[in-house]
Structure 1
Amino acid sequence: MNILTTLILALGMSMDAFAAALGKGAVLKQVTLKEALRTGLIFGVIETLTPLIGWGLGIAASKYVMAWDHWIAFVLLTVLGGRMIVGGLRHCNDDDVPPERHGFMVLALTAVATSLDALAVGVGLAFLQVNIVLTAVTIGVSTTIMATTGMLIGRFIGPVLGKWAEILGGVVLVGIGTSILIEHLGLLN
């Protein structure tokens, strides 16, 4: 795999993280560069590890991983998105102050859910002659940049959407999960 192919793959793998981070940034009281970088790094590190894990699993048992990755992503993203929607609906009539930052576990679970496609890509890369470490690091750096950018853009969207930003963020997560499931089940072919 050449460097251009690796960069295109990395950009494609980071788009889910961008969309999720956009929603996360929109619901915070104020997104600082420090918080955006923290979120970007959490997403980036997890997105770096998942193709490596997938590569290892691909060598060991690819048919089992590929059979379930889309269901795991769908369930995780739907649960996380559903929580955001319910939380947003509860707060629509309140004068609650938006959170200062998201908890590590919420960000990590969101990152894991959006990076399961990278796990599947890692499985596929196990059957090609690629430098898996370079590819995984490229995907991770791209994801860090995209998630950080998503958080920073989200801070401008949040004030426009107001309390509906959390609901929209939840809908985006559920949409990503549903898209992954539909794509893997081949329902649009």
Structure 2
Amino acid sequence: MVDAGMHAGQLLTLMIIALALGMDAFSLGVGIGLKGIRLFDIIKLSAVIAIFHTIMPLMGIFTGKYVSTLLGSVATTAAGALLLLLGGHMIYSSLRGDAVGSIDYNSSWGMLLFALGVSIDSFSVGISLGMFEADMLLTVLMFGIAGGAMSVFGLLLGSRVSASLGGYGEACGGVILFTFGLLFLF
């Protein structure tokens, strides 16, 4: 019974983190979508983002497990600090209002750079989750699905709304990660 409660808690935590990380793909997708994008390009770009949102946390989890064995009891503090820094950076980036105009999402390199840019935070969170020994398969699947789905929603919404919504999505994701970082530290 306790194990089921812990698994449900882990599932809820991973869902919230996956959505928070997907907010980055969503907000940048809104920016790309504002320029106009074809449905085929939405599917292609979102698939690449989903793949990166799966690979990056997987690499992070392996790194986190290794770091966890080295750090021992310091792992929880390091993971919490990492989430605080990541969340703070996302909030700061959203307040600065950086534009995504320099990446041509139609080119292969542009698509890879875009996917890497929105997935790099998944690597950092994967390190933290590796330190806590989170369920690896569940984590990478949830991150991949959330990243791909949120990018689809952002790209579709971006073609229909104003540019001001994009920064709020990234800020919301940053606040969620920052909050989890505080919870891990205290």
TM range (shorter): 0.5 to 0.7
Give 2:181's aligned amino acid.
H
**Distance in 2, Cα, partners of 1:117 & 1:29:** 30
TM-score by length of 2: 0.63
The equivalent residue for 1:51 is 57
TM-score, length of structure 1 as denominator length = 0.62
In structure 1, the gaps of 5 or more residues are 89-96
Q: 1:19 to 1:52 in 2, by over 3 A?
A: closer
| 2:70 pairs with 1:74 | no
Q: Which ranges of 4 or more aligned residues in structure 1 deviate by more than 6 Å?
A: 4-10
Per the TM alignment, residue 66 of structure 1 is displaced from its structure 2 partner at its CA by: 0.9
Q: Is residue 2:166 matched to residue 1:153?
A: no
The answer to whether residue 172 in structure 2 is matched with residue 180 in structure 1 is: no
Structure 2: distance between partners of 1:81 and 1:52: 26
The structural deviation recorded for 1:32 is 2.1
Instruction: Measure the CA separation in 1 of the matches of 2:86 and 2:158.
Output: 26
Equivalent of 1:36 in 29, 38, 42: 42
**Pair 1:138 & 2:135 matched:** no
Cα separation, 2, equivalents of 1:140 and 1:180: 14
Helix, strand or coil for the counterpart of 2:37?
coil
CA contact (8 A) 1:20 1:110 kept: yes
- Identity rate of aligned residues, in percent? 15
Equivalent residue number for residue 60 of structure 1:
66
**CA distance 1:31–1:139, shift in 2 (3 Å):** same
Aligned residues: 167
RMSD of aligned residue pairs (Cα, Å): 3.9
Could you tell me how far 1:65 is from its partner in structure 2? 4.6
CA pair 36-10 structure 1, distance change in 2 beyond 3 A: farther
Question: Where in structure 2 are there 5+ consecutive unaligned residues?
Answer: 69-74
- Superposition deviation, residue 9 in structure 1: 6.7
**2:49 is matched by which residue type in structure 1?**
F
